[in-house]
Structure 1
């Protein structure tokens, strides 16, 4: 399947360890840097990758969590893998309750930690989880991130990163993206 000419599914070169469902943000597509680097790391570590593409404006008045869950459930239903991993960015982190109910491992890029529903779902998940955020992001709550780290989540907090995991400086933004890619790579190597 393709979206706008881009593929949405990739298979690893060797045996598959499972499948990763990649969930974008409201205005952050699966082809944007953080999710593209995650896709490459997932393939490198033997995961098939299924990207979800959505137009967040199409949800209208529907509750954002229920809207995201509906999309993830449909994608998950089509998978026949023993190990399912979720990678979500911003709006995609509203799938945390879905992942928690199923004990799915997850990578949450700029999770909406100021939303108690998201934070509580992450805390309730028995799966392994990596959280990535920046102190310049108003949606990242460092106290919540620390509490989640104390309870077993892997957490990368970048002091100067905003919600896109960047700054006004292009070189510093590239350095931050490299730091995130390394954290994702290390997390996947440990699964």
Structure 2
């Protein structure tokens, strides 16, 4: 696990994907936004290169249980959304970037949560289900034409504009947790 120490009362546990690198712009910039806003950020490393959804959920549960803070935010990216049942059981607010909305357990957990949350996904991503996302109690930020990396294929400019809007939405959500 990598740790950036900030405010010990505001801790974000980042649960990345096992395949897509944390250097992908959306996750890298989300982590940077949390750090700029003074949060302690814990970046979880998976115990294997390709954990199953079950293994990821169990590992994430252990990582979530290791934190005591005033506000503990779970940030799940792609496979990291396997933590949804554990996050909901622990009544944690969450930021879900590119959640695996084709997985029934993840969907059930997201549908059941009463805690603040934000779902972020792109309409060009096969794992995204905007219709389902809008049926939950969670806030939704959907990016037209964005792929699994929340980038707009073939357009750097459109990707930059989209990432700027998405990061603003994420920052607004995170700041709302601090009040």
**Selected match of 2:65 from 59, 62, 77:** 77
Residue 56 of structure 2 is aligned to residue 98 of structure 1: no
**Selected match of 1:170 from 143, 156, 172:** 156
Q: TM-score, normalised by structure 2?
A: 0.89
Unaligned runs of 5+ in 1: 2-7
Deviation, structure 1 residue 76:
2.4
Answer yes or no: is the 8 Å Cα contact 1:30–1:51 preserved in 2. no
Deviation, structure 1 residue 173:
1.6
Answer yes or no: is the 8 Å Cα contact 1:29–1:53 preserved in 2. no
Rounded Cα–Cα distance in structure 2 between residues aligned with 1:159 and 1:56? 33
Rounded Cα–Cα distance in structure 2 between residues aligned with 1:70 and 1:114? 19
Rounded Cα–Cα distance in structure 1 between residues aligned with 2:119 and 2:170? 9
Answer yes or no: is the 8 Å Cα contact 1:26–1:55 preserved in 2. no
Rounded Cα–Cα distance in structure 2 between residues aligned with 1:50 and 1:179? 24
Rounded Cα–Cα distance in structure 1 between residues aligned with 2:79 and 2:140? 18
Deviation, structure 1 residue 183:
1.0
Residue 165 of structure 2 is aligned to residue 185 of structure 1: no
SS of aligned partner of 1:156: strand
Match of 1:4 in 2: none
Residue 22 of structure 2 is aligned to residue 36 of structure 1: no
Answer yes or no: is the 8 Å Cα contact 2:152–2:158 preserved in 1. yes
**Selected match of 1:124 from 102, 112, 119:** 112
Match of 1:51 in 2: 43
Cα RMSD after superposing both structures: 1.8
1:83-115: CA deviation from partner (whole Å, max 9, x where unpaired): 211101111111100101111100000111122
Residue 13 of structure 2 is aligned to residue 21 of structure 1: yes
Where does structure 1 differ by over 6 angstroms across 4 or more consecutive aligned residues? none
Give the count of matched residue pairs: 176
Match of 1:157 in 2: 142
Unaligned runs of 5+ in 2: none
Rounded Cα–Cα distance in structure 1 between residues aligned with 2:94 and 2:48? 21
